[in-house]
Amino acid sequence: MRVLVWNCQGVGSPLTIPHLREVINLSSPNILFLCETKNRSKYMEKVKNILKFDEAVIVESMNRAGGMALFWKEEIKIKQVLRSAFTKKAQVEDRESRSEWWFIGVYASCDDQIRKQQWKVIQARKGLWGERWLLDGDFNDILSNEEKWGGNWREDRSFKDFKDFLNENQLMDIGFEGHPWTWCNNWESEGEIRQRIDRGLCNYPWYKMFEKVSCKHLDTYASNHSMLLIDTKPGKIKKKKRFFFDKRWLQKEGITEVVKQAWRQSDEGTRMFKLTQKIKRCRISLLRWKNKFQSNSKEHIERIKKNLQELRETEMQNKNNRMRFLKKSLKKAYREEEIFWSQKSRLSWLKERDKNTKFFHASIQGRRKRNTILDMQRDDGSWTRSEEELSAEIANYYKNLFKSTEGENLDEILEGIPQTITESMNNNLFSSL
């Protein structure tokens, strides 16, 4: 299971939705927790539909400040959702681990005294969350002015209340992959401060169940905060994708010649072997050919993002002006990509403003996941535990289903069937053999 967490600092930013779509298409999270959305429920429902999530629980912002949203796919089961002014708590029925656990999205206050009270509230309510739980979000453990420094980062906060909170609740920091900070004030030269204030915490029973859990810090350009991607089973081998012919290719010049050159090559063997080889060559040739032109604007997006990353790591003068220019270019590139794909497609849902989602960036992954069989219960009540066991169980089922068996009590069945072939007719039939 994958959980994506982000302090987006306002969902209405021009870069927020395109960037979220991009990350979701690449990582396919089951749950998305957003804090500091700065928007009302009506708008957040639209965001849920744009990002192709099925369910949502939303805490509205107050006067364009704060706000939280929890989205999830229907492929996972959320038994209940509880919410407070600074948390979203979801009870997850995890099919992969066959267990239940709680996800608690946290958006802590920047105020020292308020945050101390929030830790006490979490400590008082943890008994309601059962044995296993994961806390994730923006903990806002900002250092005091004396402890801030430019161009540096520190892994752990020095505030005693946060340390006490971890110790008293026996919480573990699940660590991270990527750059060692999750927030930057984006000031220039010595005034720049980088800190790790967004993190994933869990109790020991939860960690014991998901010992290989990973937390990745993902770069963002629409917020000062990085995204956190929690993956309970990282490193899963991806299946080879099926080949699908894209009808839009027919509108491209050169496709006829690509198919002709692949088909005309000679092969030796049976007719069926020659046919399969020609089809295979056409598939490979088409895949190589489409890589030369597909997603031109996407390459431009990647170049801009690379320039943004390089600029972040430099200490040049007027860096903020350059950052604003690149972010404006990134917004334009996202829009150009959307226009590019919409011009190539002739589907009616484009007219209804279902922008750049289902067909453009392979959001069909969600449907594939819903159609994926994760495990299967055997006749003896046990469950398959691997892909190999699942494949063997399906094969055995159909093998037994179509296997002929020796009939029993056929005379009793035949008694109810009226005879239409007389004995003389039967003898005539046999005599002609």
300 touches 334 (CB < 8 A): no
Q: In this model, does residue 69 exceed pLDDT 60?
A: yes
| Number of neighbours of residue 338 by Cβ within 10 angstroms | 19
Residue 238 lies in a domain: no
> Does residue 15 sit in the same domain as residue 145?
yes
Q: Which two tokens stand for residue 249?
A: 């290719």
Residue 247 lies in a domain: no
> Does residue 165 sit in the same domain as residue 54?
yes
Residue 396 lies in a domain: yes
Residue 141 lies in a domain: yes
Residue 217: how many CA atoms within 13 Å on its side-chain side? 20
Q: Mean per-residue pLDDT for 413-425?
A: 79
> Does residue 339 sit in the same domain as residue 383?
no
CA distance 86 to 68: 8
> Does residue 285 sit in the same domain as residue 207?
no
- Give strand pairing partners of 82: 89
> Does residue 73 sit in the same domain as residue 221?
yes
Long-range Cβ pairs for the range 251-254 (8 Å, 24+): 251/344, 252/293, 254/289
CA distance 182 to 179: 8
Residue 147 lies in a domain: yes
> Does residue 71 sit in the same domain as residue 206?
yes
> Does residue 270 sit in the same domain as residue 142?
no
168 touches 204 (CB < 8 A): no
Q: Mean per-residue pLDDT for 243-247?
A: 71
DSSP letter assigned to residue 223 = S
Q: Which two tokens stand for residue 282?
A: 């056409």
CA distance 72 to 81: 11
> Does residue 22 sit in the same domain as residue 53?
yes
Beta strands 133-138 and 99-107, pairing class: parallel
> Does residue 38 sit in the same domain as residue 156?
yes
Q: Mean per-residue pLDDT for 267-273?
A: 85
CA distance 315 to 191: 10
Residue 368 lies in a domain: no
- Taking only the tens place, the pLDDT of each residue in 127-146 is 777 678 787 777 766 443 33
Please report which confidence band the pLDDT of residue 5 belongs to, taking 50, 70 and 90 as the band edges.
very high
> Does residue 200 sit in the same domain as residue 155?
yes
Q: Could you write out the DSSP letters of every residue in 243-254?
A: P---GGGGGSTT
Please report which confidence band the pLDDT of residue 263 belongs to, taking 50, 70 and 90 as the band edges.
very high
What pLDDT is attached to residue 364? 46
- Taking only the tens place, the pLDDT of each residue in 346-369 is 444 444 444 554 444 444 444 555
Read off the CATH number of the domain in which 155 is found.
3.60.10.10
Best mean pLDDT range from 276-290, 334-348, 400-414: 276-290
* Domain span including residue 340: 296-353
DSSP letter assigned to residue 183 = E
Q: Is 8 exposed, middle or buried (0-12, 13-18, 19+ CB in 10 A)?
A: buried
- Taking only the tens place, the pLDDT of each residue in 275-322 is 988 998 898 888 888 776 655 567 778 888 888 888 877 777 777 888
> Does residue 263 sit in the same domain as residue 301?
no
What residues contact 26, with CB distance under 8 A and at least 6 apart? none
Residue 241 lies in a domain: no
Note the helical H segments in 84-230.
Answer: 112-125, 160-168, 204-209
Residue 367 lies in a domain: no
DSSP letter assigned to residue 10 = -
**What's the full length of the chain, in residues?**
433
pTM > 0.85: yes or no:
no
CA distance 390 to 239: 15
What pLDDT is attached to residue 238? 52
> Does residue 283 sit in the same domain as residue 139?
no
Total structural domains in the chain? 4
